[in-house]
A and B are shown apart, each in its own frame.
Chain A
Amino acid sequence: MITATVEQKHYLNAEYGLKSWLLTTDHKRIGLLYLGTITFFFLLGGIFATLIRLELLTPPGDLTNSETYNKFFTLHGVIMVFFFLIPSIPATLGNFLIPMMVGARDLAFPKLNLLSWYLLLAGGLLSMWAMFAGGVDTGWTFYTPYSTTYSNTYVIATALGAFIAGFSSILTGLNFIVTIHRMRAPGLTWFRLPLFVWSHYAAALIMVLGTPVLAVTLVLVALERAFRIGIFDPALGGDPVLFQHLFWFYSHPAVYIMVLPGMGVISELVSTFSRRRVFGYGFVAFSSVAIAVYGFLVWGHHMFVSSQSVYASLVFSFLSFFVAIPSAIKVFNWTATLYKGSISYETPMLYAFGFIGLFTMGGLTGLFVATLGVDVHVHDTYFVVAHFHYIMVGGTLMAYLGGLHFWWPKMTGRMYPEGWAKLSALVIFLGFNLTFFPQFLLGYLGMPRRYHAYPDEFQVLHVLSTAGASVLAVGYLIPLVYLVWSLRYGKRATANPFGATGLEWKTSSPPPTYNFDVTPAVTHEAYDYRALAEEETEGVRVG
């Protein structure tokens, strides 16, 4: 069948062929390369999660042996943290959207952007090689001296994979910072920026300042393992707690690399689907920066029972509660944005509701683990596992899926099927809670983390959790099917299908290679729905 209209030129059909993708410097195409890569890693990490939950269905270790189980949870953690969560929103949505949101043709350093994708790929392939060669069993935390002296698995190769992927993150962060500083369109002042850009700016600061510390730490682990120099192993004159300080100095802020961009997505969604300027814009913007800064001061809250000084624990606990405040400010402001809004319930908004609810629970349970006396009991139990999954899966992943649906029309020029999408959002929300809520109870009951086998009294809650995980798995597979389906059969998207205000909606879907035919000039604040409505009526009048 021949379509009547001539296909418009855009970034997807500007060039064809594998080379046009592998050598592209277009931030939108690189965003899609990342999308494909992290989807692959998400599925791989998900397979390990499934295997873990299946093993934990029964108390004895019967599905696999302990060695294999330990490799499963290590690979689940390594893949999900370093190769999915950290790149997830920034490298896909951030890459695609930040230049458009600031009215630029591309990121500041397009070639570095492509390099960063290759680095993630190289790191991922190296870690996968380690996985097939025999795996690694240290946990994603690589605690010493187990990782440097006692483990007989592929520690160096896996750590090197994470090390290389870290440079991908540094380059992405650098690109974002420079782009946001130098490439904003005329009239686009800092306080007219969408909150998505603010939160990515904050996350980029952490990527650039924190990741090098992880890199140094992983190199030290590799050196001690390879050459027996005494840094961490007390038998060689080292200090194992030093490793924990170095590791968490990066890895606590890394949580905010994962969650800040998600918060940015939620600000966009909540505003668009209630047609209201985000309540307390300035507070929400600065709370992102506050989280990024405080995030560097709280690493010791992972070490309350590690033998660090009691006084250090007191200080770290005190500072950790400060991080709760900017997070609470965000939640209250999002909720207030709904007040007297014009709220509609498209799929992205359902994810935003889910995010706010689950992030609230994740954040509130964060207070439990920041509270010294309670952390002594729940540290290294399933309580902590549940807590950080509420933040990373309930938070980041919900935001990622919400954002993916929201900008899918912009990225692909096609609409996703609304009915299926709503159904899967609901399935994911229910499955998630059934998987992870029982783990809070398990944790307080005393079930330790990273146990291959466990005593009978924990089984009922484990069965509930595994049942939830199977619902969750279905919930994740549905979008995979309909999003791929929509690429060919989805309804064609208009330039601004959701009536949103950002600059990215002022260009066609999908956008042309250089985003805008004319560099846009910005004359009003972000989220100005009245101005948008006026432009639209004017457009109709003129048209």
Chain B
Amino acid sequence: MSTTFRLFPQAASTTANSVDALYFFLVAVAAFFSILIFGLIFFFAIRHRRRVAREVPQEVRGGLTLEIIWTVIPFGLVMVMFAWGASVYLEVARPPDNALQAYVVGKQWMWKTQHMEGQREINELHVPVGRPVKLTMTSEDVIHSFYVPDFRVKWDVLPGKYTTVWFHPTRTGKFRLFCAEYCGTKHSGMIGWIHVMEPAAYESWLSGGGASGSLASSGEKLFQDLACGNCHRVDQPGRCPDLTGLFGKPVRLADGRSVVADEAYIRESIVNPGAKITAGFQPIMPTFQGLVTEEGMLQLIEYIKSLSGRPAGAQAPPGTAPAPERQAAGERGPSLPGSAPEKR
């Protein structure tokens, strides 16, 4: 268990091994120079201690050779650190293509996670061992930071923006999840667990109920509830851009620029539709700021992704999935359109 005393974190992801190897190199360099400097100070301090008051020691002028040596050697060493560190960083910053996708929304002071299949959790995330998992993250309020020490990964979670973090768990078990960016009163309470399971156990956990339809299907439901389809129609092109096949494609804008339709673009087009007008269309769309929760936003994005034929987890083709039952109003406080029950 992770609650026992230890002096070194567990290495539970592929990244952990790369980071630790680099860390040990740095520890070795730091130890070498610390011992060198401490050793020399002690040695000189004793060897050259003052024997006669006000004596004037022999002059030893600075040697250019020495200055060059102790500039060049550290420089070489730090360049190794830079290059090695950069290669590990690029590995951490770039999720592999085959990663399992899940979503994280941070808010004061909890982590809400959503699986592609629709399962939702609070302060917990279940993932299978042995395959990369990519998390797309955003915040409802302030900046948080998603940190799993045993995986050696951390990335900030910001309001109004999507960031990603990924990891490839190498062993099963429970691993701590922390919020690493100070976010207010209960910052230290914004902690949870990552449960890494055998693939079979993960599959049965997934099918264990609780979910009411995939994220994409929740997104489709939300799409209908917000009446997005009144304009964005496939059968009646002209008024609003057709969303079919949009995701991941370049979009030409009215001002001549071109942007790729990624998560950030879709989010922006929903909350601030006037920011980027697609070429050939009028700025007639109203803002949906405040009408869609961050989780709902992720569902909408997943739905739009599904219109591009992107595999939305182990899910039936979009449109054929039964729409989730609408919950009884008032059952869960300010229930948002398309929200599925949360699994605790």
A associates with B: yes
* Residues in A lying within 8 Å of B, measured CB to CB: 61, 66-67, 70, 137, 139, 141, 143, 145-146, 149-151, 233-235, 237, 240-241, 274-277, 279-283, 304-307, 310, 313-314, 317-318, 321, 324-325, 328-329, 331-333, 335-336, 338-345, 353, 356-357, 360-361, 364-365, 367-368, 370-377, 379-381, 441, 444-446, 448-457, 459-461, 499, 529-530, 533, 536
Pick from B49, B153, B155, B161: contact of A344, CB below 8 A.
B49
Q: Say whether, besides A373-B22, A380-B180, A533 and B44 are in contact (CB < 8 Å).
A: no
Question: In the complex, A141 Cα to B78 Cα: how many Å?
Answer: 28
Q: Provide the main secondary structure of the chain B interface.
A: mixed
CA gap between A210 and B82 in the complex, in Å: 27
Residues from chain A with a CB closer than 8 A to the CB of B182 are 70, 139, 141, 143, 146, 380, 449-450
* Chain B residues with a Cβ closer than 8 Å to the other chain, count: 90
- Beyond A307-B163, A379-B180: 14 further Cβ-contacts under 8 Å? A66-B186, A70-B182, A274-B57, A324-B74, A325-B71, A328-B71, A332-B70, A335-B37, A340-B57, A342-B55, A343-B48, A370-B82, A381-B149, A457-B5
B141, CB-defined interface residue at 8 Å: yes
B184 to chain A, nearest CB (A): 6
Q: Which residues of A contact B154 (CB under 8 A)?
A: 305, 376-377, 379-380
Assess whether B34 is interfacial by the CB under 8 Å rule. yes
* B23 in contact (CB, < 8 A): yes
Nearest CB of B to A64, in Å: 12
Shortest 3 CB-CB distances between A and B: which pairs?
A446-B149, A373-B88, A234-B160
CB-CB < 8 A to A61: which residues of B? 188
Q: Which of A67, A143, A356 is close to B185, meaning CB atoms less than 8 Å apart?
A: A67
Given contacts A336-B66, A377-B149, A450-B182, contact A365 B30 (CB under 8 A): yes
Q: Using Cβ atoms and an 8 Å threshold, which residues of chain A touch B181?
A: 143, 380
* A343 touching B90, Cβ below 8 Å: no
User: Are A341 and B57 in touch, CB under 8 angstroms?
Assistant: yes
Q: Is the CB of A274 within 8 A of B19?
A: no
- The answer to whether A446 and B44 touch across the interface, beta carbons within 8 angstroms, is no
B6: interface (CB < 8 Å): yes
Inter-chain CA distance A39–B83, complex, in Å, is 44
Taken together as a complex, chains A and B put the C-alpha atoms of A376 and B159 apart, in Å, by: 20
If the complex has contacts A66-B186, A275-B55, are A310 and B48 also in contact, measured as CB distance less than 8 A?
Answer: no
**In the complex, B7 has a CB within 8 A of chain A:** yes
B186 contacts across to A, CB distance below 8 A? 66
Establish whether residues B44 and A343, one from each chain, have CB atoms under 8 Å apart when the complex forms: yes
Output the residue of A340, A374, A453 with the most chain B CB within 10 A.
Answer: A374
> How far apart are B196's CB and chain A's nearest CB, in angstroms?
16
In the assembled complex, how far is the CB of residue A267 from the closest CB belonging to chain B, in whole angstroms?
A: 13
Q: Chain A contacts of B94 at CB under 8 A?
A: 310
Asked, given contacts A376-B152, A377-B152, whether A150 binds B187 with beta carbons under 8 Å apart, the answer is no
Known A-B contacts A328-B74, A342-B50, A371-B82; the reply to A444 vs B3 at CB < 8 A is no
Task: Provide the bound-state CA to CA distance between A145 and B107, in Å.
Answer: 13
B260 proximal to A (CB < 8 A): no
Known: A340-B60, A374-B23. A364 touches B159 (CB 8 A): no
Q: Shortest Cβ distance from A374 into chain B, in angstroms? A: 6
Q: How far is the CA of A275 from the CA of B57 in the complex (A)?
A: 7
Q: With a CB–CB cut-off of 8 A, which chain B residues contact A373? A: 18-19, 22, 84-89, 91-92
Across the interface, do B183 and A146 meet the contact criterion of CB distance under 8 Å? Answer: yes
Q: Are A150 and B87 in contact (CB under 8 A)?
A: no
Q: Assess the B158–A448 pair: CB atoms within 8 A.
A: no
Which chain B residues lie closer than 8 Å to A137 at the CB level?
Answer: 184-185
Chain B positions 1-44 with a Cβ under 8 Å from a chain A Cβ: 2-9, 18-19, 22-23, 26, 29-30, 33-34, 37-38, 40-41, 44
